[in-house]
Chains A and B, each alone.
Chain A
Amino acid sequence: MTQTETPEITASTPPAAEHSSVGAVLLRALRGNVRQYGMLLALALIVVLFQIWTDGILLQPLNVTNLIQQNSYILILAIGMMIVIIAGHIDLSVGSLAAFVGAASAVLMIKHGMSWPLALVLALLIGAAAGAWQGFWIAYIGIPSFIVTLAGMLLFRGGTQIMLQGQSIAPFPRGFQQIGNGFLPEVGPHTNYHNLTLLLGAAVLAVAVLQEVRGRRRAASYGLELLPAGLFLAKLAVITAAVAVFTLLLASYRGFPIVLLILGVLLVGFGYLMRNSIIGRHTYAIGGNEAAAKLSGVKSKRVVFLAFVNMGVLAALAGLVFAARLNAGTPQAGINFELEAIAAAFIGGASASGGVGTVFGAIIGGLVLGVLNNGMSLVGVGTDYQQVIKGLVLLAAVGFDVYNKRKVGS
């Protein structure tokens, strides 16, 4: 950027790393993202509490692995749902669509004997087509997403039952089951830990630290305000500790679940897309103020359409993971998934009117729900009370946000 279209650019260096007090910087960072940091803190608190109440069962390697595998499909849905909600819409059909795709994959693989990789690709395409169908009505015809996806919810559920004729189909080929239950293979010499997991953990740690350092260096070269060095080191230490503990936990059981790899790729990919890509930026702009976005040249119809296509693909993926884990295509799959995914997005910082939220937040929200589910089951709370508590948590999380906004705004 060399052009200077405005008068009198005073080209002095911006007030770069001016030394403000640590507290002030921390406060400023927190204030921007109260909800997300709040939820991260709440998640940590919930984990610690249940760790105590369950006498340490919660964070046992077996249970951590279970937790990931049990919640993976909700987390996948939550990522897509977050994007749809950021754009100012909602999708009630994802549970039914997940069931539909799971059933379709079962029919293709088990009844028609199709090879599983091919069936997998076809299933994802079915999801994309279903998303495009809904996105068309919503974006181009202008029917509210609530209505279109409510219709979709019935449509895909009915379709599932027709396809399966009310019966479950099982079992899936072994390779396909791995998506839901599998782990990365065992390699190398025998240690007490899963070697590949350790390597992967180390790689993740290295990349994360490198990214942080590079980001800091670039920000400095652009003269932006930086975290004070001490705080930055503390941040690195927290990241290192978290990754190390998590890696050791996984490695001391059966290793790295394949579905976690999928989740990791989705989190990083969609996080980057929403934060750094033009289309991601346009999504926020549409949700924040669609009229202003349109007048700025944003092709809002196309962006909304694509958000639903994407949701369709992710719903398909969630359906496949669920079917693989269950090792069956069943008509009852995916019931209430949409509600869990929506709750995860809102707990994780989405705003009901759109324009706000992050993919990372959706994952945090999903984990809060997941840990609550798992922890309460371990403690022996009945599903009746579990629902009551989850309802209250959702209300409290959003209520806190509304209260907080009112205090900041006005």
Chain B
Amino acid sequence: MAGPVLAMRSITKTFPGVKALSDVNLTVAAGEVHAICGENGAGKSTLMKVLSGVYPHGSYEGEILFQGEPCHFRSIRQSEQRGIVIIHQELALVPYLSIAENIFLGNEHAKRGIISWHRTLSHAAELLKRVGLSENPQTRIADIGVGKQQLVEIAKALAKEVKLLILDEPTAALNDEDSRKLLDLILELKAQGISCIIISHKLNEIAKVADSVTILRDGRTIETLAVGPEGIAEDRIIRGMVGRDLEHRYPERTPEIGEVALAVEDWTVQHPIHHQRKVVDGVSVNVRHGEIVGIAGLMGAGRTELAMSVFGRSYGRHTGGRVLMHGKEVSTRTVPEAIGHGLAYVTEDRKHLGLNLLDDISRNISLSALKKVSRRGVVDEHEEHRVAERYRKSLNIKAPSVFAETGKLSGGNQQKVVLSKWIFAEPEVLILDEPTRGIDVGAKAEIYQVIADLAAQGRAVLVISSELPELLGLCDRIYTMAEGRLTGELGRADATQESLMRLLTTSAATPNEQV
């Protein structure tokens, strides 16, 4: 094989308070398929954003050599001109434009601003043939399935004369059939001399298509493994992905576990738009008073969708299953109903779904239980401030006062405000979705303590997290989900990072029921 097509050397990228990448190296040989593996938050996407110019040259340290030449990309446009094209997990297609229009969006066949439709359509047809998609180029994107849309994305990349194609979780939204087709296409492109970087959680896919694998963990390169003709042992990759010390301190606790507080039975949810896709498929979980139960899963496993659907049907179309509180079936059809039955859902997306960033700390904390600080519909602002002040102290929210706008707080402090809001609502069951995402180590330890205290008060806590050490450190019991289904349930004693990771990367085609 020729020299490397891409060499990224000593890449370091820091965000305020967080080192996302530290001294990362990545070398991709010409004409190979190179996989990047790592847990959520290991730095895979950040690395690709550095490569493609989303984070402009100068905002990171280290150097990038593409085809032997140093690169200083300041925008995606510049990296695309060199032939580096990234296809994101969320497809970037305009639904109401045609396939052809999407393929050449920003790259139109035009003369003096006037589009030549003949060339556009004939070239589009040619590209569609290359990716093996038999659709009329004039079909609207909205009218074809996700699998075909993925192929259109690749055709779009080919139109830009791609030399290095980056695919971020390309099969996450695809069914088995479409996934297989896509992987075949990647191999075919490789035969045509196009190098490829593929980011994936699905180890069986990596074993099938990749020539080598680079493993990232906590923003560092751990190792690069070559894949032999006989494939690679998945266990080998898993060991690289999880092998780290438990670096966070978890609170010591002796759980006093009581009756089952919340039980969800046989819960099924359809995708809000693509009704044929079951995002959550027949999942049953329960949590007892005083217990902390984890739900592990990689991105797209359906954990958040399960939680939001149970909490007032806030996601998708619910098609089956029931919710029981203390053994009695209850309706959680609307959010007020769910709250009324003692449920709380602390979102993973605090900026979009958790906080009113325009408003101050005290008003955010009181929002879900305003009645508790009001009399006859009138809010007692002083009482409200006192409550907020109490949480500011007890949860150690770092802000000049409770009148500080939440939009100006750090991630950790915002998370504490969202937690305060739901603790103030005094729920019996708290569902915490990625409670420590994007916050620094110190604040993480504080939040773990709050969670442990909540359980000690007899509340039932469900923790959804992508960080396995976090679940292992906190939980009494852990469910695993993959592709919308429950793939296992492990007690504290049996759970290890390896055993969990195996259940998380289990393909839905071979469900590994242990319940």
**A: which residues have CB within 8 A of B?**
1, 3-10, 14, 32, 218-219, 221-225, 275-282, 284-285, 288-289, 291-299, 351, 355-356, 409
Q: A1-B387, A3-B426, A297-B368 are in contact. Are A276 and B356 (CB under 8 A)?
A: no
Residue of A1, A277, A293 near B383 (CB, 8 A) is A1
**Chief secondary structure at chain B's binding surface:** helix
How many B residues are at the interface, by size bracket?
35 or more
> B190 to chain A: closest CB distance in Å?
42
Contact, CB under 8 Å: B371 / A278: yes
> B345 to chain A: closest CB distance in Å?
7
Point out which of A3, A281, A351 has the most chain B C-beta atoms below 10 A from its C-beta: A281
25 contacts between A and B (CB under 8 A): A1-B386, A1-B387, A5-B426, A6-B390, A6-B450, A6-B453, A224-B382, A224-B385, A276-B381, A277-B378, A284-B356, A284-B359, A285-B359, A291-B353, A292-B355, A292-B356, A293-B367, A295-B335, A295-B345, A295-B353, A296-B368, A297-B335, A297-B338, A351-B358, A409-B407
Q: A277-B378, A298-B367, A356-B358 are in contact. Are A6 and B335 (CB under 8 A)?
A: no
Contact, CB under 8 Å: A10 / B339: no
Q: Convert B335-370 into 0s and 1s, putting 1 for each residue whose CB lies closer than 8 angstroms to a CB of A.
A: 110110000010100001111111100010011101
Closest B residue by C-beta to A219: B382
Contact, CB under 8 Å: A285 / B356: yes
Chain B residues in 8 Å Cβ range of A278: 370-371, 374, 377-379
Q: In whole angstroms, how far apart are the Cα atoms of A275 and B380 in the complex?
A: 10
Q: In whole angstroms, how far apart are the Cα atoms of A84 and B356 in the complex?
A: 18
Closest B residue by C-beta to A290: B356
Chain A residues in 8 Å Cβ range of B381: 275-276
> B441 to chain A: closest CB distance in Å?
20
Q: In whole angstroms, how far apart are the Cα atoms of A32 and B366 in the complex?
A: 20
Chain B residues in 8 Å Cβ range of A280: 379
Point out which of A5, A224, A281, A292 has the most chain B C-beta atoms below 10 A from its C-beta: A292
Q: In whole angstroms, how far apart are the Cα atoms of A221 and B383 in the complex?
A: 11
**B: which residues have CB within 8 A of A?**
311-312, 314, 335-336, 338-339, 345, 347, 352-359, 363, 366-368, 370-374, 377-379, 381-383, 385-387, 389-391, 393-395, 401, 403, 407-408, 420-421, 423-424, 426, 449-450, 453, 457
Point out which of A1, A293, A409 has the most chain B C-beta atoms below 10 A from its C-beta: A1
Contact, CB under 8 Å: A289 / B382: no
Contact, CB under 8 Å: A7 / B424: no
Contact, CB under 8 Å: B393 / A281: no
> A358 to chain B: closest CB distance in Å?
13
Contact, CB under 8 Å: A296 / B367: yes
Contact, CB under 8 Å: B389 / A14: yes
Q: In whole angstroms, how far apart are the Cα atoms of A399 and B188 in the complex?
A: 54
Chain B residues in 8 Å Cβ range of A295: 311-312, 314, 335, 345, 347, 353-354
Chain A residues in 8 Å Cβ range of B401: 225
> B308 to chain A: closest CB distance in Å?
8
Q: In whole angstroms, how far apart are the Cα atoms of A126 and B121 in the complex?
A: 57
Closest B residue by C-beta to A7: B453
Chain B residues in 8 Å Cβ range of A218: 382
Chain A residues in 8 Å Cβ range of B370: 278, 281-282
Residue of B345, B382, B394, B408 near A9 (CB, 8 A) is B394
Contact, CB under 8 Å: A7 / B408: no
Closest B residue by C-beta to A9: B394
> B340 to chain A: closest CB distance in Å?
8
Point out which of A10, A224, A289 has the most chain B C-beta atoms below 10 A from its C-beta: A289
Given contacts A3-B426, A276-B378, 17 further A-B contacts (CB under 8 A): A4-B390, A5-B423, A6-B420, A6-B450, A7-B450, A9-B390, A10-B393, A224-B382, A224-B385, A281-B363, A284-B363, A289-B358, A295-B345, A295-B354, A296-B367, A296-B368, A297-B312
Q: A222-B385, A296-B368 are in contact. Are A1 and B358 (CB under 8 A)?
A: no
Residue of B345, B367, B394 near A10 (CB, 8 A) is B394
7 closest A-B pairs by beta carbon, nearest first, are A288-B356, A296-B368, A6-B394, A7-B453, A222-B382, A288-B358, A297-B339
Chain A residues in 8 Å Cβ range of B372: 1
Q: In whole angstroms, how far apart are the Cα atoms of A223 and B385 in the complex?
A: 10
> A11 to chain B: closest CB distance in Å?
9
Point out which of A5, A14, A219 has the most chain B C-beta atoms below 10 A from its C-beta: A5
Contact, CB under 8 Å: A6 / B339: no
Chain A residues in 8 Å Cβ range of B386: 1, 222-223
Closest B residue by C-beta to A15: B401
Q: In whole angstroms, how far apart are the Cα atoms of A7 and B377 in the complex?
A: 29
Contact, CB under 8 Å: B389 / A292: no
Q: In whole angstroms, how far apart are the Cα atoms of A280 and B384 in the complex?
A: 15
Contact, CB under 8 Å: A299 / B453: no
Q: In whole angstroms, how far apart are the Cα atoms of A32 and B401 in the complex?
A: 13
Residue of B353, B383, B426, B449 near A7 (CB, 8 A) is B449
Chain B residues in 8 Å Cβ range of A9: 390, 393-394
> A135 to chain B: closest CB distance in Å?
19
> A293 to chain B: closest CB distance in Å?
7
Point out which of B314, B345, B358 has the most chain A C-beta atoms below 10 A from its C-beta: B358
Q: In whole angstroms, how far apart are the Cα atoms of A1 and B393 in the complex?
A: 16
Closest B residue by C-beta to A296: B368
Contact, CB under 8 Å: B394 / A8: yes
Q: A277-B379, A285-B359, A299-B336 are in contact. Are A1 and B373 (CB under 8 A)?
A: yes
Chain B residues in 8 Å Cβ range of A225: 401
Chain B residues in 8 Å Cβ range of A4: 390
Chain A residues in 8 Å Cβ range of B383: 1, 222
Q: In whole angstroms, how far apart are the Cα atoms of A292 and B386 in the complex?
A: 23
Contact, CB under 8 Å: B394 / A291: no
> A21 to chain B: closest CB distance in Å?
15
Closest A residue by C-beta to B335: A297
Q: In whole angstroms, how far apart are the Cα atoms of A219 and B381 in the complex?
A: 9
> B406 to chain A: closest CB distance in Å?
10
Point out which of A8, A221, A284, A296 has the most chain B C-beta atoms below 10 A from its C-beta: A296
Chain A residues in 8 Å Cβ range of B353: 289, 291-292, 295
Contact, CB under 8 Å: A289 / B356: yes
Contact, CB under 8 Å: A285 / B394: no
Residue of A5, A289, A294 near B314 (CB, 8 A) is A294
Closest B residue by C-beta to A280: B379
Closest A residue by C-beta to B368: A296
Q: In whole angstroms, how far apart are the Cα atoms of A282 and B453 in the complex?
A: 30
Q: In whole angstroms, how far apart are the Cα atoms of A351 and B356 in the complex?
A: 14
Chain A residues in 8 Å Cβ range of B379: 276-278, 280-281
Chain A residues in 8 Å Cβ range of B453: 6-7
Contact, CB under 8 Å: A294 / B335: yes
Residue of A221, A222, A276, A292 near B354 (CB, 8 A) is A292
Q: In whole angstroms, how far apart are the Cα atoms of A277 and B366 in the complex?
A: 13
Point out which of B367, B450, B453 has the most chain A C-beta atoms below 10 A from its C-beta: B367
Q: A289-B352, A299-B336 are in contact. Are A409 and B408 (CB under 8 A)?
A: yes
Chain B residues in 8 Å Cβ range of A10: 393-394
Q: In whole angstroms, how far apart are the Cα atoms of A1 and B389 in the complex?
A: 13
Q: In whole angstroms, how far apart are the Cα atoms of A10 and B391 in the complex?
A: 10
Chain B residues in 8 Å Cβ range of A298: 367
Q: In whole angstroms, how far apart are the Cα atoms of A280 and B378 in the complex?
A: 9
> B430 to chain A: closest CB distance in Å?
11
> A354 to chain B: closest CB distance in Å?
9
> B409 to chain A: closest CB distance in Å?
12
Q: A5-B423, A7-B449, A297-B368 are in contact. Are A289 and B457 (CB under 8 A)?
A: no
Q: In whole angstroms, how far apart are the Cα atoms of A222 and B380 in the complex?
A: 11
Q: In whole angstroms, how far apart are the Cα atoms of A355 and B387 in the complex?
A: 23
Q: In whole angstroms, how far apart are the Cα atoms of A351 and B386 in the complex?
A: 29
Chain A residues in 8 Å Cβ range of B371: 278
Chain B residues in 8 Å Cβ range of A293: 356, 367
Q: In whole angstroms, how far apart are the Cα atoms of A289 and B359 in the complex?
A: 10
